[in-house]
Structure formats: C-alpha cells, structure tokens
Amino acid sequence: MHLSMWTYPWDIQDQGIDGALGDLRDRAGLNTISLATSYHAGRFLQPRSPGQKAYFPEDGTVYFKPSAALWAGKEITPLEAQNLAERGDMLRALVDARAKGGMKVSCWTVCLHNTRLGMLHPDHVTRNAFGNPNYYNLCPSSPAARDYVVTLVKDVTTAYKPDMLELESPNFMGFAHEFHHEKDGVGMNAEDDFLLSLCFCDHCMARAGKAGVPMEAAKATVGRFIADMCEREVPEIQFPDFPMAGIDAFKPWPELHAFLAWRTEPVTSLVKEIKDNADPATRIVLIDLKDGWLGGVDLEAVGKVCDGAILCCYFMPPAETAALMRAGRAALGPDKYLGAGYRVFYPEVTSADDIAARAKAAADAGADGINFYNYGLIPAKRLDWVRQAVNGLTKASSDV
C-alpha cells in the first residue's frame, strides 16, 4: 500500500535527511515522502523545527532546479525558491537517498494557485462575472497558464524521475480562503462563493464560445445572482439542493447550466496534456475534494487521462470517508490509483484511534494508499498516531 506524508523542503532541512527518513519510515511506518515541489505563500506554525517556529515561505516559487532550455521563450516561467540556494535541493537529496534504499518520492505540485505569477500575468488569471481578477488563480483556459503547468511537470519528472507526482489546483479555485486578510461583511454562503468563483475571463469566453456555449448570457445570469447577493440585508439560500445536486441545481437557467457542463473541459484537457508530456516513469495523480465539480473537475473524465486521484477526507468520519472512497472508485474504475488524504490536526482528529479508524475505513472501501498531512506542522508525538493507523492497515491486510 502507498503510505506517504506531505512534507515541506524546510522540514527535511531542519531534521536532516537521516532524521526525516527515520521519523517517516521507521517511526511512522510510511514508505513514501510527498515533497512540496512548487508552493504558494502561507504562515506556518512549525513545532518540529528546533528554532524556526513560525515560517513564511516565498509565494509561488519552485523547490527544484528548472531547466533553462525547457523554459526558453515561455511567457510564464517559474522562480526558484531562495531556500534551494541557501539550504540545498531536498528533492535531489531524497531521490539520491531513494537510490540507496531510501523512501519512494512523490512530488506534491501546486499548479495554478500562484498569486506571484497572477500579479505578474493578470491577463491569465480567472475573472468573475464583473471582470474582477482573482490573482491567486491562473486560469486553466489560458494557453500560457496551461503551458506553464505542463512544462513545470515535464521539467521535474524528466530531471528527477519521482515515483509519483500529485497535481494540486490544476482547476478553477473558489473565491474564499485563497488569498489573505480577506474581508466579507455580507456573510457569503457556499453558493455565493461558488458564483463568485465562476470564470469569465477572455480565455474562457473564447474557449467556451467555440464549443457553442452562450457565454454572454451565462455571464449576465451569474452577474445578476452576484448583484442580488450584494443587495440582500442578510444572506439567503437561492439553490436549496446546492451542492448535492451538482450542476443540476442550476437547470432552470439553461445558459448557466450549459456553461457549467462545459467548465470541466479545460481542466480535463489540461490534466491530459500534463500526463502526455510527463516522463512516463512517473505516475500522475490529481489531488481533489469531495465536490470536485465546484472547481470544474469531472473525476471520471480525469481518471481516463491520468493515473488516478487522491481524495482529501479531512473532516470526514469513517462512514463518510468510506462513501467517498466508494464513489471515487466507481468514478475512476478498478485499475486507477485511489488515495485518501488526512490531516493529523487537532481537534480535527483527536487521537491515534481516531485517525486509525478513518484510515481503515478508506482502505476497506478500496483505497490504494493514504497520505497524511503534514510532517512539519504536527508535534513529533503524532507520528505515533500515524504509526498506529499504518499498523491497523498492515494487520487488516495480513488477516485477509
């Protein structure tokens, strides 16, 4: 079984290669390390670090050495993190350690969530129905943004040959919780957030228009919904079966429904292009959520063009986890990789028994692997919680 933990390069640097491998393989019982290869900004409490308890990573940088030849002439190009020059190439170190009997290596790769690049290239970000830019989200319909992500994955898989590469955010992103110091005095509900996330940039307008989607009408409809939301005294639910009904919640508005049906196309085709250009030795999988359609993900279609998916189950008890894994397996089919992602955060999980029950539920429902989050963000003692979860999976396998 594929058993991994999402990890930042600075965590490996703080603990050292031997220390990190000892923690993850020997103490936690894992066989793979999922290292952040490209990442966004943040502020992280780092309990594992001996001296760096609060860390602010650079925004929108990569944690590997890009190939100058591959990027020559590209409109959007990556920026190598200063961390690499100052503290070393941890991806290379882990790949070298793998050759000497170390853990398998997966590249956790943030794709279109990149505020630094969005600010530099505003013509290639998503835009709401009023034309306002979402600088944190490069648009999957933009040819330049697509070329950036495809080349990024080609570069890292060709140069480093990881066992797996995990695609985070190759899709449309939500409106809330993607930037910083966000202000919302209206009190948006989930449907309001979704409507504000719908992209009507020039690239989407042209791409969908060529597919026969009535984009001007769809844009006008969404604009009216957003304007109405802004005028209400308090928020109201307009679509009572949202998000359970998926895009059918919007069937009474045919132009909007047609747009939402099309919206998966740029995401699916981008994932296919990524896979087609990646080194064939590396498995390409998507990181996604339960309601991936909100971001334009059609899991069944994506499963046909890449090697599988990791579905995040962060807040789900065992029964909900099992249901999501069964749905994921039905969408992907029997031969594609299906993983479950869990945070070992308190009070999201409260004990070793808690995380063990959730992991077992995923495995029993057909998951091929488990990813735990996150090595540097949790106290060392919670690695023992992960070990108990892994032991439960190992015991269940041996009992079959």
d(Cα 350, Cα 200) in Å, to the nearest integer? 42
Q: Over the stretch 119-150, which tens digit does the pLDDT of each residue have?
A: 999 999 999 999 999 999 999 999 999 999 99
Q: What pTM, to 2 d.p., does this model score?
A: 0.97
pLDDT of residue 399 exceeding 90, the answer is no
pLDDT of residue 400 exceeding 70, the answer is no
What does the domain layout of the chain look like in residue ranges?
A: 2-172+266-399, 181-262
% of the chain residues with pLDDT over 90: 96
Question: Which range has the worst mean pLDDT, 147-151, 157-161, 185-189?
Answer: 185-189
DSSP secondary structure letters along 247-270: GGGGTTSHHHHHHHHHTHHHHHHH
Band the pLDDT of 393: cuts 50, 70, 90. very high
Q: Over the stretch 223-233, which tens digit does the pLDDT of each residue have?
A: 999 999 999 99
CATH number of 2-172+266-399: 3.20.20.80
Q: Mean pLDDT across the chain, nearest whole number?
A: 96
Q: Over the stretch 327-367, which tens digit does the pLDDT of each residue have?
A: 999 999 999 999 999 999 999 999 999 999 999 999 999 99
Sole residue written with tokens 């080194």: 279
pLDDT of residue 192 exceeding 70, the answer is yes
Question: In degrees rounded to 5, what are phi and psi of residue 238?
Answer: -100, -20
% of the chain residues with pLDDT over 70: 98
* Exposure on the CB side of residue 335, measured as CA atoms within 13 A: 3
pLDDT of residue 179 exceeding 90, the answer is no
Question: For residue 398, what pLDDT is reported?
Answer: 45
Closest CA to 297 of 270, 268, 317, 326: 268
Question: For residue 182, what pLDDT is reported?
Answer: 84
